[in-house]
Structure 1
Amino acid sequence: MTVTVRFAPSPTGRIHIGNARAALFNALFALRLGGRFVLRFDDTDRERSREDLKVAIADDLGWLGIRPDIMLSQSDRTDLYDQSAERLKAAGRLYACYETPDELERRRRRQLARGLPPIYDRAALKLTDAEHAAFAAEGRRPHWRFRLDGRPVGWTDLVRGEQIVDTASLSDPVLIREDGSYLYTLPSVVDDIALGISHVIRGEDHVTNTGVQIEIFEALGGPVPTFGHYNLISTVSGEALSKRLGSLSIGSLRAAGYEPMAVASLSVLIGSAEDIHAYRSLAELAGHVDLARVSMSTAKFDPHELDMLNARLVHGLAFEAVADRLAALGIPGASGIDPRAFWEAVRPNLVTVPEAAQWWRIVMEGPQAEPPSQGEAGTAPMAADRAFLAEARAMLPAEPWDETTWGTWTKTLQTATGRKGRDLFLPLRQALTGVDHGPELKKLLPLIGWRRTSARLP
């Protein structure tokens, strides 16, 4: 059997960390076992589904390193769903209902008032042919429900172990809307059968739905896949993720300059027994993701943790890996500065690659109104510091400069002024960069050069 998994987003919004986590769990599972990954757009919601969002979702997945073996849209497969629906109708498992939402809500309230579970009472099964005809004459169009067996449905879950859902406690699910369009449930099962999906890996919010879908698999005579339901994630504050939480959308994280493997690693390792580490490829990460070691408690997604993972990856990036990205930021432009030397100077102080542009402006232009994210704005020099800086300017070594220049210059200043430690180094750093912390000045000073250094000293 070829392992085949699927990621089935609705193209009604950009994907966020939670969606990406679903895609990653499936893609990594397939990668680990030599299987296939299917990207299936669940676009049965005709009003909200958008073609441009399909493109955006596929692009975001590609950024994460996920490239589907098969890609399809449910909107192109309606004939297949129609055939399955007719089979279920003929078998008496799909039946027509005419209640309006208001009628169903009133019925639900009556059940609650009587202490009964608010599930559909199957009143439509008792309709006579004459009553069906009367509803049709009124212009009412039916929605169609799947008649559940009302029994315990069990499976061995890849994450949660033995699971049982008693479908007797559930309403018969609506599979077809009044307008003839399909809700998620039936097309999902039909496609899983048609595509040979062997494993369905998704969030724990689908556990109850799995009991329903297993009954539909069996009613259609299809093989029931193996299911796995992993824990959900929330923000540190406990807020559930949604497509409207833009700061954690994959698109926004890309725009902010995060590395795809930092996002991927954190997404699947939080809430598991594995140590959180930024792996350099999906193939490497796949060897460290075991669904059996995923916790059943909600995992917290901490952006600060993402920053730390991303910084570790950035600090290990060779110049060749970022040269094109630096060029897109205007580095080195026509400056004549060696971009490799610049990268090696600023790399240890970056969280994201685009932050290099902030240090580039400091090298070229001097202190900035807004300091780099890893820097702390310096204070205006005191009168004594201004005198010291003027003396420092007078003692600037002649060019050419290299990494020994900073040490030579500061030793000369120490001898001449008696300053040492923070009193010696901090005023110079503040004057040259505008911040209290940053890249090693022995590496930064040759990039700034004599002319720019002299201009920044009084």
Structure 2
Amino acid sequence: MTTTRFAPSPTGYIHVGNLRTALMNYLIARKAGGTFILRIDDTDPERSKEEYVDAIKQDLEWLGLHWDRAERQSDRLDRYAEAADKLREMGRFYEAFETPTELDLKRKKQLNMGKPPVYDRAALNLSDAEKEALRAERGNGVWRFKLDHQRIEWNDGILGDISIDAASVSDPVLIRGDGQVLYTIASVVDDTEMGVTDVVRGSDHVTNTATQIQIIEALGGTCPRFAHHSLLTGPQGEALSKRLGTLALRDLREQGVQPMALLSLMARLGSSDPVELRSDMAELIDGFDIGRFGAAPTKFDVQDLFPLTAKHLQSLPLADVADAVADAGVPTELAEPFWAMARENITTLADLKGWWELCRDGAEPLIADEDREFIAEAVVLLPEGPFDGETWGQWTSAVKEATGRKGKGLFMPLRKALTGMERGPEMAALLPLLQVIRARG
């Protein structure tokens, strides 16, 4: 069975970059009728916060990305310890004691000599007595996985055939000196024991994948299928990493972005398929193909979400937005005609309030000097209420006959006088909702 996972760290709110990873893994699982696991990477007790665990779940639920099971890595520390012991017994795990400053000096020296800046494995030459002396002086060392210096190869679902020389990569640190288990080994143990078959993540993890393949093989596991999606940039190709904090999903939600607009964009962004608004999750699942995504950096512009949100809202019946219409202050008896009028003229649901304020309180008339006599004559011809969908047509026909005006010269001054705006909804739909005019009628 196909099994995928999304493994966020609860050290902050998830953003559009995280969502891309979560959505791809979700769609792969759902398309195959498989399992989608939410796995909280909370092995860092200092930075992991329960409030962010809750926020991650709330954001995924808002988007409709429902998981089949939830796991927490902090509940599985004994499994990582067992894997570490196994690697020690195999001679693939060793303790190293260099300080960050010493490592930096080594890297600079290697670069000056034209060599790749990889860890030189000096710790492998330490005697037991030297290790004990270093522990006494510096505390516990870090634990590194000893890579086999051979090529690591796999067929990537997006990048194609990948081949990395393990000799060009430092032996990865899997456990820190303070005992904290790092992602590299925790992920391997979890993916293996949870039967994860497909892993999709950012292209910044390619080197991690190479080292993890060797760790999986050392522990006797089966490698999942890997795919590494491109990283997002800003609309001008600029690095997005510094802005991701302002692109948290809850901030987009606060700005009125609709879930299906966000999902429709992220399910196609960076692929060879055009972005198209989808009506529901089933359409997203059916149209998803990981093989259609490219390796090039992918431009993301938050402004692209708002036309999609507007288009999505236009497709919704009143029942789907009834709460928002009520929150805008619209009386229940006017909700249906109000939504029919406003839906084509909003970008987000927050815009409903402004349209209801116009209907309820009227607007400052916008009347050019040359139109004042015309407007005064037109107001006299306004039919008696109550107004309905035919009133605008009846009124403008009467005004046309009386004044001789027609076309834009007839309709625009009347719109501006009633709404204070040059553009907006169909006046036939808006006029019956204008409470001030209704009262005059």
What amino acid maps onto 2:110 in structure 1? Q
Checking the alignment, whether the CA contact within 8 Å between 1:15 and 1:243 is kept in structure 2 is no
Map Cα deviations across residues 304-341 of structure 1 (whole Å, 9 max, x no partner). 43222222211111111111232233332xxx652011
Whole-Å separation in 1 of the counterparts to 2:38 and 2:93: 28
Alignment-derived partner of residue 105 in structure 1:
104
Whole-Å separation in 2 of the counterparts to 1:247 and 1:408: 51
Alignment-derived partner of residue 436 in structure 1:
422
Kindly report which structure 2 residues correspond to 1:373-392, keeping only aligned pairs within 5 A, or say none: 380-392=366-378
Alignment-derived partner of residue 375 in structure 1:
none
Map Cα deviations across residues 44-78 of structure 1 (whole Å, 9 max, x no partner). 22222111111111111111111111112111211
Map Cα deviations across residues 173-224 of structure 1 (whole Å, 9 max, x no partner). 1111110001110101011111111111112221121110000101111111
Between 235-244 and 40-49, the greater mean CA deviation after superposition: 235-244
Q: Evaluate the alpha carbon distance shift between residue 210 and residue 154 of structure 1 in structure 2; reply closer, same or farther with a 3 A threshold.
A: same
Percent identity reads 47
What amino acid maps onto 2:347 in structure 1? V
Between 241-250 and 254-263, the greater mean CA deviation after superposition: 241-250
Whole-Å separation in 1 of the counterparts to 2:439 and 2:395: 12
Between 318-327 and 244-253, the greater mean CA deviation after superposition: 244-253
What amino acid maps onto 1:421 in structure 2? G
Alignment-derived partner of residue 411 in structure 2:
425
Kindly report which structure 2 residues correspond to 1:33-432, keeping only aligned pairs within 5 A, or say none: 33-242=32-241, 245-332=244-331, 337-367=333-363, 380-432=366-418
Q: Evaluate the alpha carbon distance shift between residue 247 and residue 443 of structure 1 in structure 2; reply closer, same or farther with a 3 A threshold.
A: farther
Whole-Å separation in 2 of the counterparts to 1:160 and 1:15: 25
What amino acid maps onto 2:402 in structure 1? A
Checking the alignment, whether the CA contact within 8 Å between 2:360 and 2:435 is kept in structure 1 is no
Q: Evaluate the alpha carbon distance shift between residue 245 and residue 162 of structure 1 in structure 2; reply closer, same or farther with a 3 A threshold.
A: closer
Unaligned 5+ segments in structure 2 are none
Between 241-250 and 267-276, the greater mean CA deviation after superposition: 241-250
Alignment-derived partner of residue 30 in structure 1:
29
Whole-Å separation in 1 of the counterparts to 2:240 and 2:282: 27
TM-superposed CA distance for 1:140, in Å, is 2.4
Map Cα deviations across residues 271-313 of structure 1 (whole Å, 9 max, x no partner). 1122211112222111111011112222212334322222221
Whole-Å separation in 1 of the counterparts to 2:175 and 2:12: 23
TM-superposed CA distance for 1:163, in Å, is 1.3
Whole-Å separation in 2 of the counterparts to 1:69 and 1:53: 20
Alignment-derived partner of residue 19 in structure 2:
20
TM (norm. structure 2) is: 0.96
TM (norm. structure 1) is: 0.92
Map Cα deviations across residues 339-365 of structure 1 (whole Å, 9 max, x no partner). 011001111112222222221111112
Counterpart secondary structure, 1:56: helix
Whole-Å separation in 2 of the counterparts to 1:106 and 1:367: 70
TM-superposed CA distance for 1:139, in Å, is 4.2
Checking the alignment, whether the CA contact within 8 Å between 1:401 and 1:449 is kept in structure 2 is no
Counterpart secondary structure, 1:269: coil
Counterpart secondary structure, 1:165: strand
Counterpart secondary structure, 1:286: helix
Alignment-derived partner of residue 374 in structure 1:
none
TM-superposed CA distance for 1:454, in Å, is 4.7
Checking the alignment, whether the CA contact within 8 Å between 2:27 and 2:288 is kept in structure 1 is yes
Whole-Å separation in 1 of the counterparts to 2:385 and 2:42: 65
Whole-Å separation in 2 of the counterparts to 1:412 and 1:283: 51
Whole-Å separation in 2 of the counterparts to 1:56 and 1:8: 14
Whole-Å separation in 2 of the counterparts to 1:245 and 1:433: 40
Between 25-34 and 294-303, the greater mean CA deviation after superposition: 294-303
TM-superposed CA distance for 1:128, in Å, is 0.9
Whole-Å separation in 2 of the counterparts to 1:167 and 1:453: 80
Whole-Å separation in 1 of the counterparts to 2:374 and 2:185: 78
Whole-Å separation in 2 of the counterparts to 1:381 and 1:301: 42
What amino acid maps onto 1:437 in structure 2? R
TM-superposed CA distance for 1:453, in Å, is 7.4
Alignment-derived partner of residue 372 in structure 1:
none
Unaligned 5+ segments in structure 1 are 369-377
Q: Evaluate the alpha carbon distance shift between residue 243 and residue 265 of structure 1 in structure 2; reply closer, same or farther with a 3 A threshold.
A: farther
TM-superposed CA distance for 1:442, in Å, is 0.3
How many residues are paired up?
441
